[in-house]
């Protein structure tokens, strides 16, 4: 089976937060990214203003779509507020980037196994560490779905004795818009 598209680009843009207002310039970046990937022959899909749980559900739904059998590569764009090791849903709840990487690894995204997957994160990287974020997520009652609980259990089991995680990400490229411990410069 072949596709008229080279691949798929999922663009998640958290622009209007319940607390903290709007991310200025975000719509401009998303529109340009969408147009660029359409011109390059990708099917581009936009999702806007998702909660923390909504982000994970959107990505998980994407990984289950059989259409990926026909695509050659996958891009995931995350435009959001964030901190070290996380992004925020519009409900200001954190999502650990490790959760996202786990969702799109070759085991959990079998239709794209062995094909290039690229994650582009446009978010600040100042603030909580991943370990603090994971504690916040575990204590949070807002994202207590059975699927998310199972993902957290899987991640905990994947930790090795050195504290490193095995994400099965040999076909994954991760790009950040700024260095660790830095804020984005907004227009």
Q: The CATH number of the domain where 107 resides is what?
A: 3.40.50.1460
What tokens does 121 get? 């994160």
Classify residue 119: in a domain, yes or no: yes
pLDDT band at residue 26, thresholds of 50, 70 and 90?
Answer: confident
- Average pLDDT, integer, range 101-118: 94
Q: What is the mean pLDDT of residues 175-183?
A: 69
Dist. CA 11–CA 75, nearest whole Å: 8
For strands 117-122 and 172-176, give the pairing: parallel
pLDDT above 50: residue 20: yes
Asked if residue 106 is part of any domain, the answer here is yes
Please tell me the least confidently modeled range out of 41-45, 65-69, 88-92, 133-137: 133-137
Q: Is residue 186 part of a domain?
A: no
Q: Of the candidates 53, 20, 82, 57, which has an alpha carbon nearest to the alpha carbon of residue 142?
A: 53
Q: State the pLDDT confidence band at 39, using cuts at 50, 70 and 90.
A: very high
Q: Which residues are the active-site residues?
A: 81, 124
pLDDT tops 80 at residue 5: yes
Taking residues 134-138, report their average pLDDT.
Answer: 42
- The parent domain of residue 97 ranges over 7-176
Mean pLDDT of the chain: 80
Binning pLDDT at 50, 70 and 90, where does residue 160 land?
A: very low
Cα 60 to chain centroid, rounded: 10
Per-residue confidence band for 36, with pLDDT thresholds at 50, 70 and 90? very high
Q: Is residue 11 part of a domain?
A: yes
Task: Give dist(CA 178, CA 106) in Å, integer.
Answer: 26
**Does residue 157 lie in a domain region?**
yes
Q: Which of 7-21, 35-49, 96-110, 162-176 has the lowest mean pLDDT?
A: 162-176
- Res. 130: pLDDT tops 50: no
Say how many domains are in the chain.
Answer: 1
Whole-model pTM: value is 0.76
Strand partners, 120: 77, 175
| Domain membership flag for residue 144 | yes
């Amino acid at each position: 089976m072949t596709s008229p598209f080279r691949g798929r680009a999922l663009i998640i843009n958290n622009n209007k937060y319940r607390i903290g207002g709007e991310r200025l310039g975000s719509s401009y970046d998303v529109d340009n990214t969408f147009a660029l990937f359409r011109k390059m022959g990708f099917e581009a899909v936009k999702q806007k203003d998702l909660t923390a749980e909504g982000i994970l559900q959107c990505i998980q739904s994407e990984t289950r779509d059989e259409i990926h059998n026909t695509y050659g590569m996958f891009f995931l764009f995350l435009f959001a507020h964030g901190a070290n090791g996380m992004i925020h849903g519009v409900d200001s709840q954190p999502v650990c980037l490790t959760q996202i990487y786990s969702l799109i690894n070759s085991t959990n995204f079998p239709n794209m196994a062995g094909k290039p997957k690229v994650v582009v994160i446009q978010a600040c990287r100042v603030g909580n560490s991943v370990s603090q974020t994971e504690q916040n997520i575990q204590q949070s009652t807002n994202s207590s779905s059975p699927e998310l609980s199972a993902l957290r259990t899987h991640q905990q089991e994947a930790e090795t004795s050195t504290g490193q995680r095995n994400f099965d990400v040999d076909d994954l490229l991760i790009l950040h818009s700024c260095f660790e411990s830095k804020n984005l410069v907004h227009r």
